[in-house]
Amino acid sequence: MRDGSKITINDVAKAAGVSKGTVDRVLHDRGEVSAKSREKILKVISELGYRPNFYASILASKKNFHISCIIPEFNNGEFWELTEHGIDQGREYAERFGISISAVMYDQYDLDSFQNACSSVLDSAPSGVVIAPMFRNETLKFVKELSERQIPYVYIDSKLEDDGYLAYYGMPMYQSGYLCADILTDGRNVRKVHIIRIARDKRGLSDPTITRRTGLIDYISEHYPDCVVENTFIDPKNIQARYEVLDQMFEADPDPMKYIVMCNSRVHFVADYLRDRGIRTCRVVGFDVLDRNLAALRDGYVQALIAQHSDKQAASAISAITDYLIMHESPARKDNYTQMDILNKYNCDYYI
């Protein structure tokens, strides 16, 4: 009964006329087995439908697996905090199998910091790696090294064009922009859409939200060919400058009904402005369930949020590697596009 099938490595050994030591050897591909023994054992295994009991396996094994997760560093309430929660969930799972998890953070605006993170991970000789890549070239170099060392790695958030990865968990960025535009406009007579963007001081950084913006713009030009799309850049660090820019935006066009969208997680910047100025005439859509975004949703300064359970992405990434390490099982599918959740004030309180 136990484990569904009661056939053990001993049964296999007996049926194949060898010892369990030999069976174990073919089970783990560690050579030193004659071709005929090997063949026979494999045959018996599939005939009997033998499935190893990995509790016994873990118990007996002296191996110490470790998984490193490389993600951007963050402050409280920021996007990557949720990912860290997911790492904690994944840790809970992995630790049951005696696998330890560590998170290594880097400054997403600083290439050196990313390189340091990568090389320190490499030095620790991990059994597997989870990575949220922000620097294209450096990441490609890094995963190439991982591949050579036969270390499995999983992308989260966004992925690159190599194909050595074990799995990828992330949101379909283009589609999320398309969806966002649909929710923003939703059959209304929209003449102008305002995209609020973060003014990036450093150039040359990869920005995963570009694809999202493309989806957004495509939707508009397909469904509202006469609609104007206007970009407004705000400074994330300077409130005053931010308010000035937004004031200008509102003054430039007398219509108080504005359609506003942000393609990253920081729509709360817009909400704060609207709250302070007492503006309730706009339709605002943003992304991700930060506390400040949720508050804006509840208060009615943001009408909808598109969310992606990025915690689950990290957790899934870790269990994918765990399962691969423990039971040699690759995930059912390699590319896992997580669902896009539409949140409004009536369902956001039930979002975990």
Figure out which of the listed residues 102, 115, 175, 206 binds its own copies, where binding follows CB under 8 A. Answer: 175
For the chain, counts of helices (H) and of strands (E): 13, 12
Q: Which of 168, 178, 224, 301 binds its own copies (CB under 8 A)?
A: 178
Residue 58 as a binder of its own copies (CB under 8 A): the answer is yes
CA 199 to the chain's CA centroid: 24
Q: Does the protein bind DNA through residue 202 (CB under 7 A)?
A: no
Of residues 117 and 173, the one with the C-beta less far from its own copies: 173
Exactly one of 146, 151, 179, 246 binds its own copies (CB under 8 A); that residue is 179
Cβ count within 10 A of residue 278: 6
Strand partners, 332: none
Q: Shortest gap between Cβ of 329 and DNA (angstroms)?
A: 14
Asked if 33 touches DNA (CB under 7 A), the answer is yes
Q: Does 22 bind DNA (CB under 7 A)?
A: yes
Nearer to DNA, 47 or 244 (CB): 47
Backbone angles phi, psi at 267, to 5 degrees: -65, -15
Is residue 350 within 8 A of residue 341, CB to CB? The reply is no
- Report the first-to-last Cα separation within the chain, whole angstroms: 36
Q: Is 253 in the site for its own copies (CB under 8 A)?
A: no
Q: Which residue has the tokens 């989806």?
A: 215
Chain positions 45 to 74 lying near DNA, rule: CB under 7 A, are 52-53, 56-57, 59-63
Specify the residue, 45 or 104, whose C-beta has the smaller distance to DNA.
45
Choice from 100, 102, 116, 206 touching its own copies (CB under 8 A): 100
Under rule CB under 7 A, residue 24 binds DNA: yes
Token pair of 12 as six digits? 């296999």
Q: How far is the CB of 320 from DNA (least distance, A)?
A: 20
- The residue among 300, 265, 248 whose CA lies nearest residue 279 is 300
Shortest separation between residue 30's beta carbon and DNA, angstroms: 8
CA distance 278 to 309: 31
Total interface residues for its own copies by CB under 8 A:
34
Residue nearer to its own copies on the CB measure, 17 or 300: 300
Residue 111 binding partner per list DNA, its own copies, none, with a CB distance cut-off of 5 to 8 Å that depends on partner kind: none
Backbone angles phi, psi at 230, to 5 degrees: -115, 130
Phi, psi at 232, each rounded to 5°: -130, 130
Nearer to its own copies, 41 or 305 (CB): 305
Give the sign of the dihedral formed by CA 81, CA 82, CA 87, CA 89: positive
Amino acid type, 263: C
Q: What DSSP line would sit under 179-190, residue for residue?
A: HHHHHHHTTS--
Backbone angles phi, psi at 169, to 5 degrees: -125, 115
CA-based diameter of the chain, in Å? Answer: 88
Neighbours of 250 (CB within 10 A): 17
Indicate which of its own copies, DNA, none lies near residue 178 (CB less than 5 to 8 Å, by partner kind): its own copies
Q: Which does 116 bind (CB under 5 to 8 A by kind): DNA, its own copies, none?
A: none
State yes or no: residue 286 binds its own copies (CB under 8 A). no
Q: Which residues lie near its own copies (CB under 8 A)? A: 1-4, 53-56, 58-59, 64, 95-96, 98, 100, 172, 175, 178-179, 182, 186, 337-344, 346-347, 350-352
Q: Which residues lie near DNA (CB under 7 A)? A: 2-3, 6, 8-10, 17-22, 24-25, 27-28, 31-38, 52-53, 56-57, 59-63
